[in-house]
Amino acid sequence: MHAHPNPDFHKQLNPAQFKPLFQTNALRHAMAIVFDWTVIALTIYASINWLPMIFYPIAVIIIGARMHALAILMHDATHFRFLKNRKWNDGLTNWITMYPLFTSIETYRQNHLRHHQHLNTEDDPDWVAKLGKRAFTFPKTKREFMLTLGSYLILYKGVSDAVWFLQRFQAPAAKQAQQGEQRLPRILFYVILFTVLTISSSWLYYLLFWVVPYLSSFFMFQYIRSVAEHYGELEYDDALSSTRTTLPTLVERFFLAPHQVGYHLEHHLYPGVPFYHLPKLHEVLMELPDFRQQAHITHGYLSGLLNELGAFEKANKKEAVSA
C-alpha cells in the first residue's frame, strides 16, 4: 500500500494566510507543558490528601491523559517546533517529557521521521510494526474494541505494549539514534529522580501515580490515538484518505485529543505547522474544494470514530441478510 505524495495545496493558498502558520511560539508550547504537569501534580495531591481510594481509578485516567498530552508536545518538539535552538529543544524536551516517560527524543525521532517519509508503506516502521496485529486489525465490533481498552486498564495490554516498544527501539536504526544521544544527562536524570524518591520515601506514590498510569491509561490513550490516525475505514492509495482528522468534543479534547492532535491529516500534509496553528490550517485547507471533498474527516471519537471502526462489519452483515 502506497499513499500518493502530498498534494501541493500551498500553491493554491494565499501566502499571507499560509506562511504565518509555520511560525513557532515557544511560550505557548511551554505554557502547555506547565498546564499538563500542573494537572498531574494537582491530581496526585488531591488523591493523597483529599479523595478516598475509590477515586484512584479516576486519578489514573487523568494522569495517563496528561502523560499522553506531554507526549504530544514532545511530538511537536521532534519536528523542532518548540525552540529554535535545536540543542535546547531536545535537551529540555528530554528532561521534562521524555526521560520521565522512559525514553528519549532522539530515539523517537528516528522512528517518527521515517513514518512521515514512508507513510503506510513497507518502509514505515509504525505501519510494519502494527501490520497483522489483532489490536490494529479492523473492522472490529464495539465490544471487542472496548475489551481491548479494558485490557489496558488492568495493565495487561499496557505492559505488553511497553515490552513491545522496548523491543522496537532495540532495532538497528533505534540503536544508532541512541548512540548519537548523550547518555550522561539521561543517567543524571534518573540518579536525581531515584535519590529524591528514596530520601522522601515516595517510592509507593511513584508506583501508584506514575508507573501504574504509565502502564495502563497512558498506553491506552496512545492506542486510541494511533487507531484514530491510521486505521479503520481508510483508503491508503491517496494522501487525503490514508490518515484521518478527528474533530473531538470538549471532553474528548481533554482526555483523547490534547493539544490539537486530532488534526492529523493536516499534520501529515504540513508537519512544520505547530500544534496551536493546526485548527487555523484546517480552516484554510477546508476552503479548497479538493481538500474539502476528499479529506477523511471524522466528527468525534466516541461517536464517529467508533462507528467507522466497525463500518465494514455492518456492511457485511447487511449483505448477508439481503442474501
Please list the pLDDT of the chain residue by residue as tens digits (323 residues).
445 555 666 677 778 788 899 999 999 999 999 999 999 999 999 999 998 889 999 999 999 999 999 999 999 999 999 999 999 999 999 999 999 999 999 989 988 888 888 888 788 888 888 888 899 988 888 899 999 999 999 999 999 999 888 877 665 554 554 555 678 999 999 999 999 999 999 999 999 999 999 999 999 999 999 999 998 878 877 778 889 999 999 999 999 999 999 999 999 999 999 999 999 999 999 999 889 988 999 999 988 999 898 865 444 444 433 44
The residue to which cell 474494541 is assigned:
145
Q: Which long-range contacts (CB under 8 A, 24 or more apart) does 154-159 make?
A: 154/216, 155/212, 155/215, 155/216, 157/219, 157/220, 157/223, 158/214, 158/215, 158/216, 158/217, 158/218, 158/219, 158/220, 159/215
Q: Which residues contact 18 (CB under 8 A, 6 or more apart)?
A: 10, 284
Q: Which residues of 85-107 are buried (b: 16+ CB within 10 A; e: fewer)?
A: eeeebbebbbebbbbbbebbbbb
Instruction: Specify whether the CB–CB gap between 213 and 39 falls below 8 A.
Output: no
* pLDDT at residue 59 in the model: 97
- Determine the Cα–Cα distance for residues 130 and 167; give it in Å rounded to an integer: 13
Neighbours of 222 (CB within 10 A): 18
* pLDDT at residue 263 in the model: 97
